[in-house]
């Protein structure tokens, strides 16, 4: 059984991952944290076999937290989870002792693949870290209304909330959501939320 801890300062991302990973019979999520200090305490108390951690977090970043965890629990495998694909960030995580690195815009299936690969062979580094990932490179043209809706999704609002805020029908919001999903080429509600959270300050 793979015991897993997740550290990420956006709770919606944790919730989406938990919803997917809880259905996997070989993985048990033993805890979650929203900052680096909480992650260290979580690892000390639960001793997970694998940790997925964001690089940029409050109080203590993932790089610093990884160093401390690997010093205290060298057998714990750590996968960095971030939008930062710069060589420097990857190298810093490797030097800190990370066993893997995946992008936040990866599909949940790829997250699962990374967890299982690190558990079995010890390492997993996403090909996207070597190049500019497709979602960043691709020019996505959204209408003003679609940008408003994407921003509100990133702030955690439901379709009904967005409809009330923008004074439009919920059906209209749902239609816009479907169009946004097609334009940005993600798969389903959870991936859309992840995309929106990471880009909510871009519009």
Q: Are residues 76 and 107 in the same domain?
A: yes
The CB-side HSE value for 17 (13 A sphere, CA atoms) comes to 28
Predicted TM-score (pTM) of the model is 0.62
> What number is the average pLDDT over the span 61-89?
86
Say yes or no: 107 and 182 in one domain: no
Say whether both 57 and 37 belong to one domain. yes
Query: Which range is most confident: 88-102, 114-128, 154-168, 178-192?
Result: 154-168
Q: Select from 81, 97, 131 the last residue of a domain.
A: 131
Both tokens of 161, joined, read 């909330």
Q: Which residues pair with 82 in a beta bridge?
A: 103
pLDDT(132) > 60: no
Q: Is 159 inside any structural domain?
A: yes
pLDDT at position 86: 55
Domain end, chosen from 131, 152, 176, is at 131
Average pLDDT of the residues of the chain: 85
For the domain that residue 33 is a member of, what is the CATH number? 3.40.50.2300
pLDDT digits (tens, 9 = 90+) for 2-41: 999 999 988 888 999 999 999 999 999 999 999 999 999 9
Tokens encoding 79: 């996968």
Note whether 57 and 106 are same-domain residues.
yes
Report the distance separating Cα 50 and Cα 124, nearest Å.
12
Query: What does the alpha-carbon distance between residue 203 and residue 197 come to, in Å, rounded to a whole number?
Result: 12
């Amino acid at each position: 059984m793979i015991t897993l801890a997740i550290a990420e300062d956006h709770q919606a991302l944790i919730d989406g991952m938990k919803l997917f990973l809880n259905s996997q019979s070989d993985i048990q999520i033993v805890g979650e944290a929203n900052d680096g200090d909480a992650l260290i305490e979580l690892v000390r108390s639960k001793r997970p076999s694998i940790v997925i951690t964001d690089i940029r977090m409050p109080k203590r970043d993932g790089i610093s937290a990884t160093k401390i965890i690997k010093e205290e629990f060298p057998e714990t495998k750590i996968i960095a989870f971030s939008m930062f694909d710069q060589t420097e960030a990857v190298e810093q995580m490797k030097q800190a002792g990370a066993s893997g690195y995946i992008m936040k815009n990866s599909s949940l299936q790829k997250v699962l693949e990374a967890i299982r690969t690190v558990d079995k062979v010890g390492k997993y580094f996403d090909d996207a870290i070597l190049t500019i990932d497709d979602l960043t490179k691709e020019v996505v043209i959204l209408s003003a209304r679609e940008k408003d809706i994407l921003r509100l999704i990133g702030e955690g609002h439901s379709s009904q909330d967005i409809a009330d805020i923008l004074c439009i029908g919920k059906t209209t919001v749902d239609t816009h959501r479907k169009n946004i999903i097609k334009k940005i080429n993600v798969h389903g509600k959870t991936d859309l939320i992840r995309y929106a959270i990471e880009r909510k300050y871009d519009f």
